[in-house]
Amino acid sequence: MRQYLDLKEKHADALLFFRCGDFYEMFFEDAVVAARALDLTLTSRDKGKEDAVPMCGVPYHAARGYLARLTEQGFKVAVCEQMEDPKLAKGLVKREIVRVITPGVVLDDEILDPKLPRYLAALVPAGKRGNPAVGLAYLDATTGELCATEIQVSSVLDELVRVGPREVLAEAAQLEGMLAPVRARYKMPWNPAVVPALEAAEAELGTLLGGSGPQRGAARSGDLDPAERPLAVRAAATVLAYARATQPGGTLPVTRLIGYESGDAVVLDETAIANLELTETLIGKKREGALLDVIDQTVTAPGGRRLRRWLLYPLIDVAQIRRRQDAVGWLVQRPALLEQVRRTLSRVADLERLAGKATLGVATPRDLGRLRDALGMLPEVMALVKTGATKLEPVPGLLDPAPPPSAGSLPSGLAACGDAALPALAVRLGKSLVDEPPFLVKDGGVIRAGWDAQVDECRRLADGGKDEILAIEAREQRESGIANLKVRYNRVFGYYLEITKSNLAKVPAHYVRKQTIANGERYVTPELAELERKVVTAEETLAAREAELFKAEVAAVAEVAAKVSAAGAALAVVDVCGSLAEVAARRGYCRPVVDDGLAIEIVDGRHPVIEAILPEGTFVPNDCRLDPGAEQLVLITGPNMAGKSTYMRQVAQIALLAQIGSFVPAKAATIGVCDRVFTRVGAADNLSRGDSTFMVEMRETAAILAHATRRSLVILDEVGRGTSTFDGVSIAWAVAEHLHDHVTARTLFATHYHELVALADSRPRVRNVSVAVREHKGEIVFLRRVVPGGANKSYGIDVARLAGLPTKVIGRAREIMSRLEGGSALGTSAQLSLGAVASPQLPLGGIAAQPSPVIAKLSAIDINRMTPLEALTLLAELKSLV
Ligand code: ADP
Ligand code: MG
C-alpha cells in the first residue's frame, strides 16, 4: 500500500491503474469512482476489517476497453506497470507509471477514430484587464500536429467547436473567471493547466520555430513570431508540456509549430458549423447525413482527417483555391488513373500516426511491418501521378468549363514521398522484420532470419534442441532395446525418460531414477539435463535479443519519422483530391469559377446531402443569384415544408465546397469568395438546441449584424419566429432593412411571414422569390421550384392538414382564417386581426417610408411636462388626425 500511495500522490488528479499480476487494481476513492463509471463490482481489501479498503479491478487483457470508456467519460488514467518479473523480484515488485492516458492524449488505435484527429488544447488569456486576446494551441499527440493562434475571447467557443479538442487546459483562475462561460458551453473535460516544465517546453518551441531573434531561420508560411504572438506560443508550450508529462518514456512527434490567423480561412462560428451540418447533423449529431459524410470518399485515415480540416477551414485566397481545383479537375479528367490511385492508396497504412508511434516508442512489430509495406508503395503512387501527367483520357460529358487543368500541386506535393531516406528505411525494415510481424514483441518471431547472428543461433538451438530430443529418444530406444521408451517433459524435473514396468529390467545403469508412477518409472540423464538448460536459455536469450533488436528498429524509424510523416501528409492531400474528384464524377458536380468578385451565381444547384438521400433524379435543382450591386438580399417566402431551408443551406454549402477547392452540385457556378458565412435559424426551427429561446436567436442575429461584412454570406431562416407574430414580423423586417441598408452582405432571408415581400417596394436590392406550390383539387402540391416573386399566402392550414390534424380542426381553422382576413376580429383582441394589419393594402414599407402624422406627433411630446388638460387636448387632436 505504501508503494501505491506514493504513486497515487504523484498523480492525484488521475485514476491509478495499479498492476497486480493479471489485473489492474484500483483502491480507495479511485475504486469507488471507477466501479461506478465502469459498472464494476466494488469489493474490499481485508474484507470484514473495520478499515477495509475499497477496491476493484479489471483484467489486464481487457484493459483497453475499460481505458477507452474512462477517457470517453473524461477521466485521466495513470497506468502503473510491474517493472520486473514478480517471480524474480527480491522483495517488493518494482512498479512505475509508464503512461498517463487523458481524454486529449490517447495513443491506442482501438480507442482512436482513424479519421478524427485527437486534440488536446490549451487557452492562455492575456493577463491584462480589458485585453480580449486569447492564445489557443492544440496538439494531436498521435501525429505531432501542433497549431496555435491568437483570437478574441468572443471567438473562443467558435474556434473550439471547429477544432474539436477532447480536452482543454487553462489556468484555474481563468476557468472560474473569464473562460467560465465558454467552459459551460464546450462540453469536454477542462483541466487546470498546472504543467511542469513549461519553461523547458517554451525553450524547445524556440527551436521548432527556427530559433528566435537574429538566429531565426528562414520564415515559412505558418511560422509564428513569438514576439508578436506570445500568447499563442505560451499556449503551445502548455499543451506540449502537459502531453509530455503523460509519456514519461517517449518523445512527442512534434517537429513544427504551425501558426495561423483567423483571417486565413472563412470564419465559421459554432452556429454556422451546426446549422450547415458540416460534420454532423443538427438533430442527433450524427456523422451520417452531414456534408462531410457525402464528400468523404477518402480511402486512408490521414486523407479523412485532412478533408475534415479542409472543410472546416475553407480558403479565401483565390489562387490557393484554384490550385486545389486544378488538382481535383486533373483527376476528374483521368477516371482510370483516379481509380488506380485510389486503389493503391487504400492499401497504404497511416504513415502519420505510425511515425508518431515510433517517435513515442509505442510502435508494435505489426506497426513497423505496416509502415514498411506502406513505404514500399510510395514509388507506385508517385509513378502513377507522373505517368498521368503525360496522358489525358477523354471523358465524355465532363462538366468542366475550364481549360484542361494541369495537375496543379499534385506532383510537386508528392516530392516528400521521394526522399531518399524512405526507401532506405523500407529496405532496412524489409531485411530486419519478418513478412508479417506479430502484434507483440513478446510473441516472438519478429526478426527475420539472416538479420542477426545471435538470433539465428538461438533459434537453431531452441529448435535443434527439440530435434535433438527426438534423436536422443531414437538412440536410447535402439541402444536399450526398449521400443516404447519415451522422452517427456514436465515442469518439476524437465526432460526425462519414461519406461514402462515390463521393460524395467532392460534399463541401462547410467539412468538416474527420479520417480515411480503407476505403470513404470521416470529417469533422467546428464545429457538430458544439459540439453534442457541450453534449450531454455536459448529461448530466453532469443526473446531478449529480439526485443533489443526491435527497439533499434523503432529507433531507426524515429530518426526519420518527420520524413515518414511528411510523406504521409503528401499522400493525404492526394487522397483528399481523389475523394473530391470521385464525388464530382459520381454525382455530376461541376467546377465552379471562384473569383474575387462579390457575385454568387448558381445554375441548377442541388443540396449535396438531400440529393444523396433522395432517389436519383428526384431532387429539384434551383438557381441562385446574389450580388451586392443588384440582388443583395433575396427574400424567400413559401409555406412550411416548401423547401426554403433546404435551398438556403444548399447555397451556403455550395459556396463552402467551392472554397475548399471542391467541385459543386450544380450545372454551373460562380462564387465570389466569402470571408464569413453566418447562419441563423429561427428558434422554433432549431430543434437541436433544447434551450432554444428567443434570447439566443436574437443574440445570434445581433452577432451577424455586428460582424458581417460586404463579403459575407448571411443565411437567415425564419428570424423572429420565436416570438409573437407582430414582434416577429417587425423584427424580421427591421433586420432585413439593416442588412440591406448598412451591412450590404449577400443575404438569403427565408420567412413564412409573407408580409415581408413588401420590403422590395422600398429597397432596391431586395429580390423576392418563393418556393412554388400548386393547389390541386384542394390539395397542396410542393413543386420545390424557386420562382421569382413573393408568396401571397402561407398555406399553413394546408400543411397542417397534410400533417394529419383532424378534419374538424382544419375546418374550424379555415373559418377563423376567413373571418380574420375579412377584418372582423374575433373578440376584441387587435392582435388577432392579423389579416387586416398585414395585408398588402397596409404595407409596412409605407409606414417606414413616410411616418404617420400621429406617430410624429406622439414622438414629439414629453408626457412628464404635460398637464392633464393638455393631455386631453392632444388626445382629441390625435383622434381628429386618425
Ligand atoms: P421549409 O424550410 O420551407 O419549411 P425544408 O427546406 O425544410 O422546407 O424542406 C422540406 C423538405 O422538402 C425537405 O426535408 C426535403 O426532403 C424536401 N425538399 C426540399 N427542397 C427540395 C428539392 N429542391 N427537391 C426535392 N425535395 C426537396
Ligand atoms: Mg425551414
Q: What is the pLDDT of residue 618?
A: 95
Tell how far the Cα of 783 is from the centroid of ligand 1, in angstroms. Answer: 10
DSSP 8-state assignment for residue 504: G
For 397, the grid coordinates are 460529358
Q: For residue range 616-629, what is the model confidence (pLDDT) as tens digits?
A: 999 999 999 999 99
Q: Is the CB of 640 under 6 A from ligand 1?
A: yes
Q: What is the pLDDT of residue 639?
A: 83
Burial 520-534 (b: 16+ CB within 10 A, else e): bbbbbbeebeebbee
Q: What is the pLDDT of residue 196?
A: 63
Closest ligand to 643 CA?
A: 1
- The answer for residues whose C-beta is within 8 angstroms of residue 354's C-beta and 6 or more apart is 363, 367, 368, 370, 371, 374, 564, 568
- Which of 734-739's residues contact partners 24+ apart within 8 Å by CB, and which partners? 735/701, 735/705, 736/633, 736/635, 736/766, 737/763, 737/848, 738/705, 739/633, 739/705, 739/708, 739/714
Q: For residue range 752-802, what is the model confidence (pLDDT) as tens digits?
A: 788 889 999 999 999 999 998 887 877 778 899 999 988 776 677 777 777
Q: Is the CB of 644 under 6 A from ligand 1?
A: yes
Q: How confident is the model at residue 852 (pLDDT cuts 50, 70, 90)?
A: confident
Instruction: Say how many Å lie between the first and final Cα of the chain, rounded.
Output: 90
**Is the confidence at residue 98, as pLDDT, over 80?**
yes
Which segment of 221-235, 613-627, 652-666 scores lowest on mean pLDDT?
Answer: 221-235
Q: How confident is the model at residue 390 (pLDDT cuts 50, 70, 90)?
A: low
Closest ligand to 617 CA?
A: 1
Q: What CA–CA distance (Å, rounded) separates 541 from 375?
A: 31
Q: Which residue has the higher pLDDT, 5 or 833?
A: 5
Q: What is the pLDDT of residue 692?
A: 54
| CA 524 from centre of chain | 65
Among protein residues, the one with the nearest Cα to ligand 1's atom 18 is 643
Q: What is the pLDDT of residue 404?
A: 55
Q: Which of 277, 281, 610 to mutate to test the pocket of ligand 1 (most atoms within 8 A of CB)?
A: 610
Q: Are 300 and 352 in contact (CB under 8 A)?
A: no
Beta strand extents in 154-270 (DSSP E only): 167-170, 190-192, 258-259, 267-268
Q: What is the pLDDT of residue 846?
A: 38
What's the whole-model pTM score?
0.84
- Domains of the chain, CATH where assigned: 2-101 (3.40.1170.10), 119-260 (3.30.420.110), 270-446+552-587 (1.10.1420.10), 593-802 (3.40.50.300), 851-882 (no CATH)
What average pLDDT does this structure show over 27-51? 87
Q: How many CA atoms lie within 13 A of 240 on its CB side?
A: 29
The DSSP bridge pattern shows strands 486-490 and 494-500 to be: antiparallel
**Is the confidence at residue 864, as pLDDT, over 80?**
no
Tell how far the Cα of 640 is from the centroid of ligand 1, in angstroms. Answer: 9
Tell how far the Cα of 314 is from the centroid of ligand 1, in angstroms. Answer: 26
Give residue for cell 486523407. 303
Q: Which of 277, 641, 645, 646 to mutate to test the pocket of ligand 1 (most atoms within 8 A of CB)?
A: 646
Q: Are 560 and 420 in contact (CB under 8 A)?
A: no
Q: How confident is the model at residue 682 (pLDDT cuts 50, 70, 90)?
A: low
**Is the confidence at residue 16, as pLDDT, over 80?**
yes
Among protein residues, the one with the nearest Cα to ligand 1's atom 23 is 620
Q: Which residue has the higher pLDDT, 31 or 682?
A: 31
- CA distances for 150 relative to 135, 154, 316, angstroms: 4, 12, 19
Q: How confident is the model at residue 396 (pLDDT cuts 50, 70, 90)?
A: low
Q: Which of 604, 636, 641, 648 to mutate to test the pocket of ligand 1 (most atoms within 8 A of CB)?
A: 641
Among protein residues, the one with the nearest Cα to ligand 1's atom 26 is 619
Q: Are 687 and 717 in contact (CB under 8 A)?
A: no
Tell how far the Cα of 877 is from the centroid of ligand 2, in angstroms. Answer: 46
Among protein residues, the one with the nearest Cα to ligand 1's atom 20 is 643
Tell how far the Cα of 644 is from the centroid of ligand 1, in angstroms. Answer: 7
**Is the confidence at residue 481, as pLDDT, over 80?**
yes
**Is the confidence at residue 598, as pLDDT, over 80?**
yes
Tell how far the Cα of 780 is from the centroid of ligand 1, in angstroms. Answer: 14
Q: Is the CB of 619 under 6 A from ligand 1?
A: yes
Q: Is the CB of 472 under 6 A from ligand 1?
A: no
Q: What's the full length of the chain, in residues?
A: 882
Q: Are 170 and 124 in contact (CB under 8 A)?
A: yes
> Residue 267 phi/psi, 5° resolution?
-80, 120
Beta strand extents in 467-573 (DSSP E only): 486-490, 494-500, 512-517, 520-524
Q: What is the pLDDT of residue 822?
A: 65
Tell how far the Cα of 771 is from the centroid of ligand 1, in angstroms. Answer: 10
For 566, the grid coordinates are 511528411
**Is the confidence at residue 408, as pLDDT, over 50?**
yes
Tell how far the Cα of 673 is from the centroid of ligand 1, in angstroms. Answer: 26
- CA distances for 532 relative to 458, 461, 512, 878, angstroms: 14, 11, 16, 117
Q: For residue range 423-457, what is the model confidence (pLDDT) as tens digits?
A: 999 999 999 999 999 999 988 999 999 999 999 98
Which atom of ligand 1 is nearest the CA belonging to 642?
3
Q: For residue range 118-172, what is the model confidence (pLDDT) as tens digits?
A: 999 999 988 776 778 999 999 999 999 999 999 998 899 999 999 999 999 998 8
Tell how far the Cα of 728 is from the centroid of ligand 1, in angstroms. Answer: 23
What mean pLDDT, rounded, does the chain reach? 87
- The answer for residues whose C-beta is within 8 angstroms of residue 243's C-beta and 6 or more apart is 104, 105, 120, 139, 141, 252
